[in-house]
Structure 1
């Protein structure tokens, strides 16, 4: 079965990378989450996509320049101002604590291509192990040096390189860095690449798949997973495919 991973939570309907987006993704039928991790000035792992807080909160500036307590004062409701309650930028520990009480898996994307956060891999791995989630977490990044380092530190936690462009025989590349899957942009995941990868024992989970036709195609070829902003739509399409 093709798994549905909610991209930054249920980002189509709720503020991305917030607890409400994650909880609503679970209710919508997602099998897992995809989220992004940055680090504060005082070394706290926080769940936010951009290096700056400007796009998704009422604050300005770099995440790395904020202390955790000050970052928590920001409102992450972003364009969802109709929500009655302020939404905070979550700590990764807060998300993993909640996740450990669910059956969801989680793709943690290390956002360390622009800001090379010192010690991020060690901190993430320690936290994943502390919450006993090693078998339910995938660590991904566009920084492939970082995920290889993660594998060397914790071979029991799955890694997956993110690919924005097409790569020749990506399953061979994934095997070469000890990854059991890769996460390509959906345009870089034509049927023949998916089929060849699956035949080689390498999982493929494209991002960010929001169009009906693309979701239908990926379910049809039994892709390992889809990373989508709209888990409710994906769930409905997958259910309809099963019933057909």
Structure 2
């Protein structure tokens, strides 16, 4: 089982900052997960929410700001200020960890629609990563997954199932052709109980040691957690390391 740091080592550092990503690898993560949104100037930034109020000292929508405007806000702490991390900056960090995995969540709905996937594919193409097995695109948006399939069919594509509409999403999978599915921990428990856990499953967000152990012993492939150091300990315990 691979330990994926959800928004970086986000339990210990401000989420989706360069520090959170670099510290995740120091804590033993096999990869990191990020959310990407498109700014007004066409730059991809790692910000989860559509507005910046919760994660910075600024206000307003990501989509109405340029990167330079976003850099005027503090996305870190008062003691350790931080600018928002762009996808390019995160890819620079990944260059120092070529054996690690990157899960990029395409965030929708948003005003720029398919432009988000187009810019994402353009960025990955420029870096020669369109067929890299360490790069995974994930999304709750079936349309986003389908666009990635059309634009970059060699990329791994993980469709995140929303719990309230799981039946719809299972039907949707037949048309959008994901390479794997992502499940919440609550839904994963149901699949594990019924012995129907999909192969190559990605499970989020797993912070309880008992849930980590259950995932490890049930064949979950990718475990997304805010606590990569703890998850690393649980996984290694099960493998005898």
Q: Distance in 2 between matches of 1:169 and 1:192?
A: 21
Q: Distance in 2 between matches of 1:172 and 1:157?
A: 22
Q: State the Cα distance separating 1:105 from its structure 2 match.
A: 0.9
The equivalent of 1:232 in structure 2 is 229
TM-score computed with the length of structure 1 as normaliser: 0.89
Contact 2:52/2:62, CA 8 A, preserved across alignment? yes
Structure 1 unmatched runs, 5+: none
Query: What is the RMSD of the two structures over their aligned residues, measured on CA atoms?
Result: 2.1
Q: Distance in 2 between matches of 1:226 and 1:143?
A: 20
The answer to whether structure 1 residue 68 and structure 2 residue 76 are counterparts is no
The equivalent of 2:214 in structure 1 is 217
Q: 1:226 to 1:46 in 2, by over 3 A?
A: same
Aligned equivalent of 2:157, options 159, 171, 175: 159
Q: State the Cα distance separating 1:85 from its structure 2 match.
A: 2.8
The equivalent of 2:143 in structure 1 is 145
Contact 1:110/1:140, CA 8 A, preserved across alignment? yes
Q: Distance in 1 between matches of 2:128 and 2:113?
A: 24
Aligned pairs for 1:143-222 (under 5 A) are 143-165=141-163, 167-168=166-167, 174=173, 176-190=175-189, 191-192=192-193, 195-198=196-199, 203-222=200-219
Q: Which stretch shifts more, 68-77 or 108-117?
A: 108-117
The equivalent of 2:101 in structure 1 is 105
Q: State the Cα distance separating 1:211 from its structure 2 match.
A: 0.8
Q: Distance in 2 between matches of 1:70 and 1:224?
A: 39
The answer to whether structure 1 residue 91 and structure 2 residue 86 are counterparts is yes
- How big is each residue's C-alpha offset from its partner over 1:80-116, in whole Å with a ceiling of 9 and x where there is no partner? 44xx431110111111122123121111101122444
Contact 1:18/1:88, CA 8 A, preserved across alignment? yes
Contact 1:171/1:197, CA 8 A, preserved across alignment? no
The equivalent of 2:41 in structure 1 is 42
Aligned length: 235
The answer to whether structure 1 residue 8 and structure 2 residue 11 are counterparts is no
Q: Which stretch shifts more, 221-230 or 168-177?
A: 168-177
Q: Distance in 2 between matches of 1:72 and 1:194?
A: 48
Q: 1:194 to 1:12 in 2, by over 3 A?
A: farther
Q: Please give the secondary structure, in 2, of the residue aligned with 1:214.
A: helix
Q: 1:18 to 1:95 in 2, by over 3 A?
A: same
Q: State the Cα distance separating 1:178 from its structure 2 match.
A: 2.0
Contact 1:205/1:225, CA 8 A, preserved across alignment? yes
- How big is each residue's C-alpha offset from its partner over 1:194-233, in whole Å with a ceiling of 9 and x where there is no partner? 75422xxxx1111111111111100011211101001000
TM-score computed with the length of structure 2 as normaliser: 0.90
Q: Distance in 2 between matches of 1:177 and 1:158?
A: 13
- How big is each residue's C-alpha offset from its partner over 1:9-65, in whole Å with a ceiling of 9 and x where there is no partner? 000100000000000001111111110001111111111000000000000111111
